[in-house]
A and B are shown apart, each in its own frame.
Chain A
Amino acid sequence: MIEVRGLHKSFGQLQVLKGVSLRLEHGKVLVIIGPSGSGKTTLLRCFNLLEIPDGGSLSIAGLELSFAGNVKLARKDILSLRQKSGMVFQSYNLFPHMTALGNVAEGQITVQKRSRKEAEKRGEVLLAKVGLSDKTGAYPHQLSGGQQQRVAIARAMAAEPEVLLFDEPTSALDPELVSEVLKVIRQLAAEGRTMIIVTHEMRFAADVADTLILMDQGVILEQGTPQQVLEQSENPRVRQFLNRIKGE
């Protein structure tokens, strides 16, 4: 289970998260939507401490951390929390000097201290899962955007994290490549992976989410099932946001 309570984060004077609380059961999918600049990416990055929150607490699979602006976290805690989540970035961020298989094996070898042989065996299984069995030896620049993002998904799963985090995984892709990546994510959802996904793909969000969250200006404006948020919300700011994206 994943839980955050009262999460705060500022960049200088700018308050980006103003007390975000949510919980997600194991095996469920949480989708975060909301206008640009509302703090979605920042929230997601707090889950694996790429941003360190200024206040509040975070617990993933039994590891609980509390934050206070002036207290430095123990390095050990940061590292073990990061291994409980796998991050898929908007711009893939694959390691360009390693093959697809190398990308998936690297963390297992360097961080989990698995043997290269074992890491590569697991890597091959993961690449097969994302439909890239035939590309294990390819370098990132030899792959399409959709293929690169699927390698990134396999890499994020390599440490067997409790939760997978996706930050707009398809928004850097050419339109015709979006569906192959969404298909992989849908399949992971069907297998019961715990995932937190930031996306602008509303159809996909409605399909895949167990819980949908709409963020605005650093707070959660509405949360519930996709139906509750997208169809039944009475909140005028929610209606306004939904009308605007419908118009696009």
Chain B
Amino acid sequence: MDDRKLQIFLDSLLPLLKAGVAYTIPLALISFILGLLLAVATALVRISAWRIPGLIARFYVWLIRGTPLLVQLFIIFYGLPAAGIVLDPFTAAVIGFTLSVGAYSSEIIRAAVLSVPKGQWEAAYSVGMTRVQALRRIIVPQAVRVSVPPLSNSFISLVKDTSLAAGITYVEMFRTAQQITATTYEPLLLYCEAALYYLLFCSVLSVVQSRLEKRFDRYSAG
């Protein structure tokens, strides 16, 4: 690496990190939290015997899982203005990622709730609990434990997927790398640098994930 490249590399370390911490991570976090709320609601509706809401929930999951995330983002940001709905890049990105997390995670949560043995419901009923009490005290705590690993994976994927928001002009970490590239003409260097930051973020999250899993593993068999 010659001196100029080294200088560009060093000069962009801080701007990229700033963009990551100030834009990429908040986008991922906000979308994930909203998405989880949506996912819980979707999963509960699908588990319940509520017919029409159940069908709507299934349609939503089918639609989101069957279309590319980038295309969804383009429809929300570039397409909706034609229908009179103009959103700023951040809002559009949050909506797109929330819908995506909501659909994929609802399947994870649904599977986790259904994985709790029927005997647990019966034991809860046998001590006199209502359906809601059984869910809250007995079923959900066990389902949460089952869903922590796959939900952590979803979050890690989401952190990487936020780079798609660059496509709708949201200046997060990847778009920042693109902008620096435009003035320095060093795409290989800058994109690899951005990749390294993603790698760093995801590695930290993996460590957090295994901590979480250990915490929830306290009472598991074995």
A residues contacting B by CB (< 8 A) are 48, 50, 75, 79, 82-83, 85-87, 89, 91, 93-98, 106-107, 110-112, 139-141, 155-156, 158-159
Contacts and interface: CB of A to CB of B under 8 A. Distances in A.
Contact of A93 (B123, B128, B130, B141): B123
A155 B218 CA distance: 22
Given A106-B137, A139-B219, A93 B129 contact: no
A158 B220 CA distance: 25
Given A79-B130, A106-B137, A93 B222 contact: no
A83 B128 contact: yes
Nearest to A85: B126
Nearest to B222: A141
A50 B126 CA distance: 7
Contact of A79 (B128, B145, B220): B128
B220 A107 contact: no
Contacts, number: 71
Given A50-B122, A93-B120, A93-B122, A158 B142 contact: no
Contacts of A93: 117, 119-120, 122-123
B128 A159 contact: yes
B123 A111 contact: no
Interface residues of B, number: 23
17 contacts: A48-B126, A50-B126, A82-B125, A82-B127, A83-B128, A89-B122, A89-B123, A95-B120, A95-B123, A97-B141, A106-B127, A140-B219, A141-B220, A141-B221, A141-B222, A158-B127, A159-B127
A87 B124 CA distance: 10
Nearest to B118: A93
Contact of B129 (A111, A140, A158): A111
Nearest to A45: B122
B78 to A, nearest CB: 47
A95 B136 CA distance: 13
Interface in B171-222: 218-222
B127 A141 contact: no
Nearest to B145: A97
Interface in B128-169: 128-130, 133, 137-138, 141-142, 145
Contacts of B133: 110-111
